[in-house]
Chains A and B, each alone.
Chain A
Amino acid sequence: MPVPIVQVTDLTYYYPDELEPALDGVNLEIQPGEFVLLVGPSGCGKSTLALALNGIIPTLLGGRIKGRVQVNGLDTRAAGVYALSTQVGLVFQDPDSQLCNLTVEDEVGFGPANLLLPADEVLRRIESALAAVGGAALRPKSIFELSGGQKQRIAIASVLAMQPKVVIFDEPTANLDPLGAVQVFELLKRLNQAHGLTVIVIEHNVEAVMHHAGRLILMEQGAIRADAPPRAMLRERGVFVTDQLGLRIPPVSELALRLAEHGRPLEPFPLTLPEALAGLQAQHLRLISPPPLAPVAPAAAPPIIHTERLNFVYPDGTRAVKDVTLAIARGDVVGLIGENGSGKTTLTSLFVGLHKPTSGRGVVSGLDLAATTTRALVSRVGYVFQYPEHQFVAETVYAEVAFSLKAQRLPATEVAARVERILHLFDLDRFRDRHPFRLSMGQKRRLSVATMLVLQPEILILDEPTMGQDRRNIEQMLGLVQQANTEGTTVILVTHDMELVARYCRTIAVMDRGELVFSGSRADFGRDFAGIRSPALVLPALYELAQRLHAGGSGPAPQVFTVADFVAAVGVAA
């Protein structure tokens, strides 16, 4: 047995002033060169474990700790943070918080310079670390000029420059678009294979990383629940992972689980699309049933949002929205997608009057955007921001939900009745007296949606509703949003999450560099996909799988977006 690079023995940890342990008797051994994927519901202790591995816990953050952590033979508490800095590197989800220099060169050289290495050695390390992340061309740039994906690359390079043995990535792609995420994980795989780096990834959205990992570790309530290669784990305990732990797994794996329930297991158990395709073909599964037609909002319904050559230019001259002509039908569910900075959020903020159009025409729920006010619009349009904390204005959950109703000067009895109803519906009764900031991440999300739906808006806009969330939270929240939709609310989801789009949206709109480059039904999106100009676009996995399975077949292209669609289309479900 080789010597483990990471050895955690009976680790229990309490944050300062907390009664519940964040880590509860963790035992873990990781061998050099492993690629480990660490998953678990929000608040399960995975990020805490990461901080314990490089000594930040407890050296910097305090708290009570029992047990032992050894990295490359060093005891983390005895060795101290500085000695560990050359053993364990840490990359977070938000590169803006971890980059602390103004230029790329200073950033990558930051750690080695702190170690007082000779200048020529620091320069050599800058060069090789940038080369390793494919960022040599970024060297002369300033941090401000970089895109989100480039910043994440530089954050990784700045950690590699310390030449650590182990690097922990805590949701490294949460702020990236799908293609950016794929590229970052491919980079990690390359570093793992070519440089022998031990990689530990913590992630919610595992679609792009599951197949890279040699080992999948499940955490829940501060403890490790299961530890096995991903393929074996998902085949044997996939339903436990999705239904009990409430975690996301790749859509093709979810499909395989469902087919196995129907007596048609795919072998080997698929983690990627090509594997799933091979498995389906080996099982002689074909798309037989006529493809279900995507329900389309009746064309006769007058659009609730209608724009004509809408433009918006920021005061600094950035043309964030260019000549957008768009119609959204009443009662529709629209997925608004596009790479970071493509103008999605600016467009939706025009719909609630946070900006005034520079030119062009826009009508939202009968109100002309050029002439109306935010005040008039917010009584008809609900807008859920990316970070729920940004929207909280009251000191208790109850007051938070009641706030906007009171602002509209509704009678007290009606306010009380509506607040009670929504608290119950959103399963927030128990927390009615709690401060909104003290809720868990999933509860905060629910509350932010509740504060909008209590107003019974005609339109509900959600900005990146799935970011950093586990499957259970996503499903709970989207279920409530869907219910509002069946009662007539038009929904717009601004997102990078193609699985979310595939599952919930009837219409898809794509933005690229301020322009609307596509708008149409899910079916049109699949058909026109190759022709849509957007650097960040990927197809929903199951749709793509169905197309590949269908390739060469006859008849219309199959309209398959969800696991249920797929199972029905291959005629397995009765």
Chain B
Amino acid sequence: MTRLTYLPGDSFFHRMDPTVKLAWNFLAAALVASHLDPLYGALWFGYAFGLAVCLARLPLRRYLRLVAVFAAFGLSLGLWQAVYNPGGSPALWAWGPVHVTLKGLSTGVAILFRVLALTSLAAVFTLTTEPARLMESLIQVARLPYRLAYTVYAGLRFMPLFQDEAQIISNAHQVRGVSDADTGLFARLRLNASLVVPLLVSGIRRARAAAIAMDSRAFGAYDRRTVLHPQRLRRRDLAFLLGHVVLAAALFYYFVILGQGRLFIG
């Protein structure tokens, strides 16, 4: 299975400040999602691919495998659009109730590229960003209060534990013969509730233990904590941000403000 976890490395993107990277990622994703057009999407995908290969130096196979998973999803979305979205223009091809039009087709392609571009951006971010460093940077660079940051952090840490536990409880219930029991709606709802209760109970217990463990190590004693790994904004990170914002603005201006992309929709 391909997982979205940090892949140690020494590329420009690996060394980049996580807050700057996160900011750029959000902005880029917002821009990708703001306009639906096949060429616009394709350019963004090309850009994200370029980042992955040149700036993040991700292993090509790992990256492609990851994108392929989402490509299948994008392709099915795109196909659905192409086939079921007979907007106005004459059909290129028709079979019974199915009309494939130029507009439908271009929308489909645009959606495919949008999904690919978004997943590529997300992959580049998560594969090159160490979670611990992201948190340090959010506290030091983005000035997030550390108590808040640790709350999010604890959520991240407990998530896999909760998933495991939910699986165990579901297994335990299967062994009790839950699937053979009354299949009425009411009974089903009650059984779902019985799945939630143990999870809640152990969640509360875990949270309590974590709170005790943290408090008894003086968590929250002061407004600040000692900084072990100072995070600083580097000039080249800001230069990257500036340069790419300008590039993106140009792209956005050309396609959205000037409306060049509509050419392809006809």
Contacts and interface: CB of A to CB of B under 8 A. Distances in A.
Contacts of B177: 375, 378-379, 403-404, 407-408
A90 B216 contact: yes
Interface string B202-219: 100110011111111111
B1 A114 contact: no
Contact of B198 (A85, A103, A315, A390): A390
A116 interface: yes
A385 B217 contact: no
Contact of A81 (B161, B206, B216): B216
Nearest to A123: B228
A98 B225 contact: no
Nearest to A143: B157
B226 A374 contact: no
Contacts of A101: 132, 153, 157
B179 interface: yes
A56 B180 CA distance: 45
A382 B182 CA distance: 20
B260 interface: no
Given A100-B150, A113-B226, A390 B168 contact: yes
A374 B173 CA distance: 11
Interface stretch (A283-291, A391-399, A556-564): A391-399
B208 to A, nearest CB: 8
Interface residues of B, number: 53
B226 A391 contact: no
Interface residues of A, number: 69
B191 interface: yes
Nearest to A383: B175
B209 A94 contact: yes
Contact of A100 (B168, B174, B213, B218): B213
Contacts of A114: 217-222, 225
A111 B181 contact: no
Contacts, number: 171
Contact of A98 (B161, B197, B210, B228): B210
A392 B194 CA distance: 7
Interface in A148-175: 158-159, 162
Interface in B222-243: 222, 224-228
A313 to B, nearest CB: 12
Interface in A401-420: 403-404, 406-408
Contacts of A352: 175
Task: Name the residue among B1, B179, B214, B226 with the largest chain A CB count within 10 angstroms.
Answer: B226
A19 interface: no
B51 interface: no
Contacts of B176: 378, 391, 393, 403-404, 407, 451
Contact of B221 (A54, A88, A115, A394): A115
A100 B227 contact: no
A180 B156 CA distance: 28
Interface string A48-74: 000100101000100000000000000
Given A385-B172, A392-B194, A88 B216 contact: yes
B217 A158 contact: yes
A119 B213 contact: no
Contacts of A390: 165, 168-169, 172, 198
Contacts of A385: 168, 171-172, 175
A78 B211 CA distance: 20
A118 interface: yes
A403 B177 CA distance: 9
Contacts of A99: 157, 213
B199 to A, nearest CB: 9
Interface of B: 1, 3, 131-132, 135, 150, 153-154, 156-157, 161, 165, 168-169, 171-182, 191, 194, 197-198, 201-202, 205-206, 209-222, 224-228
Given A85-B218, A113-B227, A390-B168, 10 more contacts: A97-B205, A102-B135, A110-B214, A113-B225, A114-B217, A374-B174, A375-B177, A379-B177, A389-B201, A391-B173
Interface of A: 51, 54, 56, 60, 81-82, 84-86, 88-90, 92, 94, 96-103, 105-106, 109-119, 122-123, 142-143, 158-159, 162, 315-317, 349, 352, 354, 374-375, 378-379, 382-383, 385, 387, 389-394, 403-404, 406-408, 437, 451
The 5 A-B pairs with the shortest beta carbon distances in the complex, nearest first, are: A98-B213, A111-B217, A97-B209, A113-B226, A85-B218
16 contacts: A96-B206, A97-B205, A97-B213, A98-B212, A100-B213, A101-B157, A106-B228, A114-B219, A316-B1, A349-B171, A352-B175, A383-B175, A389-B202, A391-B173, A393-B194, A407-B178
